[in-house]
Structure 1
């Protein structure tokens, strides 16, 4: 027998360490070649480390949440024969998480009505993305339909043991990838099913470590609030005409994606930003340099099973509402299922976020650092208002109203500029023919 030492390889992203977000083995477990050992999170991705050899696990390095330097011992495996110390990277499968905060299931979800939500994304900066006009409702691990026995569920021995201790039926847990239930899937099940408990049992208190994506979201949000002096401006917009236009466009019978409020709002924002270049910008406060961007790379705060993420619509200013609707749906789905590439989760210059139907009257979104502004449409409500009657007087009519909230970095953006920008966006929203002109 020999001891094979598996060291954490250089994942090729120029990082010095990675965080343990899940163990798939414990000391004493038997593993085969290419069996999953652990999920490691870097700033850009979650990588599943696989064993290059078959044998029995002797020791593992650290607990979930610990950060391990590149090149340090991750797992020691007892193998047949004389293998020597291994430094092989084994086989690693990468799934995107988020480069900037990002989070984990608001999604700008195309197909949701204006109420749809877009959760505030977490990115290495601070926002994350969501729905219809951003994501609609937060994505949650749902129960798997139909009966399924625990024996048929793919899961490591450690996951099965933990599920037994918690009284969770693995058949009720939706795997986030490859059909295999992992520790993160159990965490998500518990997070979204807080009332869950085995029949006849009371739910016990539980301590949940803040690790992985959730920790990165926490760190980025804290950094944004600590470094950026936020101010928020809120304005009410009459979206009655815009909603009528949207309905007409969707009723055209053309072979195009159905429009939600989100792509129309993004068009209005992109048409307005060139007049206010200081808002479509990123601020390097260490270098003391503000970069005003010509193109609008629109971040969408999106809620995912792992947390808030901010996928990015590249060159949003060059896309029509239907192209935007298609890209919103594609990126939201990629963020939810973990297939978004690192370059699709970074580089935003301006972010939109919304809680959709849950948005309330107004919000105070947190800026996606190093950006300098983030805008958040709120819930649409119907109220009576005085409107011109066409005869020089006024009449009372039912109108659809929506508040727009914008948070800005007061080191870079003045209140007058933020208010003027929102007023210009409001003009387009309330005169929607200008959006398509």
Structure 2
């Protein structure tokens, strides 16, 4: 038998490290060649790592959320045949003649730290060591005490008991075990629940307190989102401008176009109209279609309008980009939005499709609320937020009429966009959306 070491491969694009976001195996698993072992993430691209050989997993070199350098050992497998040559070389290099080991960096030591087994066998004593004196058995905990364990004290229970307690919302630290060394059994849980029901005041009908606390590590795409939001809010002084828009005529036009569309044309939502309105407004105010390099003190103002569309996916928020919206008509904008939204939700969007935006649209659809305070997609300088459409009575000078109203909640980088310019930009969009025929007039 031998060992085979799998190192984090070069995932391309000059990336020097990647974050471990998922293990598909655990120690002791038998795997075959091409079995998926793990998934790592770099920026917004997820890469799956298959096994190159058949073998048994004997060591995992990182935990979920760890950042691992390219080339670092990630997995060790027990394989048929001799030891892996790369592993032999690594072992030789790792054993210098000096008694004191060479210091290693924090990242390297972290990458070499194995993931512990849930229940490891006790190590065998050395042959020369005298037999250990038998330890006195721990007294059983009384069933009626219910005394909570000290903070950090480990509870002893089987996986089935732990699962049952978690599903019932019970904290095992509050349950006294009657087994050896205080081991908790199903009978102990039954007794604990029975005592709780007896002690419950009249009228509660068996309602119990849920004291469970679940620790969820922020990893993968959620970590990227958190980092992005932190940078945006800490480095960009936001100004948010909210304006209400009468979209009654726009909704009538949208319904008519969808009714008359060809089979090969997409069903139009509000977004393609907003995108075309933004293109026209940007032509008058190109300063909002820009990226601000605050470290160099340079605003990169773009001629092409590359609109990011914030999309909610099962993994979290992603921003696919509709490139050159200025060169697309209503139908082309609608088709590209649909294509990119599907790619983001299915996880097939490429790195190029998720980067390069110069201004962003964010929308919560029917759940858009009355007003929001969108966070700018750093390093851009503007984001346009869409709120839900609601029918409200509006005064036309002689009477109240039911109108379809929608708010635009938009944020701007106040370092490079003045409040006046922000208001003029949104007012221009308002005029175009309230008189939608103007969207189709080429000036």
Question: What is the TM-score of this pair, normalised by structure 2?
Answer: 0.71
2:373 counterpart of 1:364:
yes
Match of 1:373 in 2: 382
Tell me the CA shift for residue 44 of structure 1: 3.6
Match of 1:305 in 2: 314
Cα separation, 2, equivalents of 1:244 and 1:427: 16
2:352 counterpart of 1:343:
yes
User: Conserved in 2, the CA contact under 8 Å of 1:7 and 1:86?
Assistant: no
Tell me the CA shift for residue 206 of structure 1: 1.7
Cα separation, 1, equivalents of 2:55 and 2:385: 53
Match of 1:65 in 2: 65
2:247 counterpart of 1:235:
no
Cα separation, 2, equivalents of 1:226 and 1:400: 37
Match of 1:225 in 2: 233
Tell me the CA shift for residue 396 of structure 1: 2.1
Q: 1:262 aligns with which of 256, 259, 271?
A: 271
Q: Which SS does the other structure have where 1:299 is aligned?
A: strand
User: Conserved in 1, the CA contact under 8 Å of 2:44 and 2:221?
Assistant: no
Alignment of 1:394-405 (within 5 A): 394-405=398-409
Cα separation, 1, equivalents of 2:86 and 2:345: 35
Match of 2:28 in 1: 28
Match of 2:433 in 1: 429
Distance 1:85 1:217, change over 3 A: farther
Residue by residue over 1:206-264, the C-alpha shift from the partner in whole angstroms, topping out at 9 and shown as x without a partner, is: 21111111011011101110111111001111111111111111122533222111111
Match of 1:315 in 2: 324
Match of 1:107 in 2: none
> How many residues are paired up?
327
Tell me the CA shift for residue 274 of structure 1: 1.4
User: Conserved in 2, the CA contact under 8 Å of 1:6 and 1:86?
Assistant: no
User: Conserved in 1, the CA contact under 8 Å of 2:394 and 2:403?
Assistant: yes
Bigger relative contact order (CA 8 A; separation at least 6): 1
Tell me the CA shift for residue 307 of structure 1: 0.4
Larger displacement relative to structure 2 (251-260 or 371-380): 251-260
Q: Which SS does the other structure have where 2:287 is aligned?
A: coil
User: Conserved in 2, the CA contact under 8 Å of 1:6 and 1:85?
Assistant: no
User: Conserved in 1, the CA contact under 8 Å of 2:268 and 2:334?
Assistant: yes
Cα separation, 2, equivalents of 1:361 and 1:53: 57
- The runs of 5 or more residues in structure 1 that have no matched partner are 88-160, 169-199, 389-393
User: Conserved in 1, the CA contact under 8 Å of 2:21 and 2:41?
Assistant: yes
Q: Which SS does the other structure have where 2:65 is aligned?
A: coil
Between Structure 1 and Structure 2, the one with more helix by share is 2
Residue by residue over 1:405-424, the C-alpha shift from the partner in whole angstroms, topping out at 9 and shown as x without a partner, is: 11011111111110000001
Cα separation, 1, equivalents of 2:163 and 2:51: 27
- The runs of 5 or more residues in structure 2 that have no matched partner are 88-158, 168-207
2:52 counterpart of 1:52:
yes
Runs of 4+ in 1 over 6 A off after TM superposition: 200-203
Alignment of 1:58-207 (within 5 A): 58-86=58-86, 165=163, 204-207=212-215
Match of 1:417 in 2: 421
Tell me the CA shift for residue 275 of structure 1: 1.0
Cα separation, 2, equivalents of 1:373 and 1:86: 51
Match of 1:330 in 2: 339
Tell me the CA shift for residue 40 of structure 1: 0.5
Between Structure 1 and Structure 2, the one with more strand by share is 1
Match of 1:143 in 2: none
Question: What is the TM-score of this pair, normalised by structure 1?
Answer: 0.72
Tell me the CA shift for residue 203 of structure 1: 9.6
Match of 1:9 in 2: 9
Cα root mean square deviation, aligned:
2.1
Match of 1:132 in 2: none
Tell me the CA shift for residue 205 of structure 1: 3.3
Cα separation, 1, equivalents of 2:314 and 2:392: 35
Residue by residue over 1:37-80, the C-alpha shift from the partner in whole angstroms, topping out at 9 and shown as x without a partner, is: 11111114110001111111110112101111111100011111
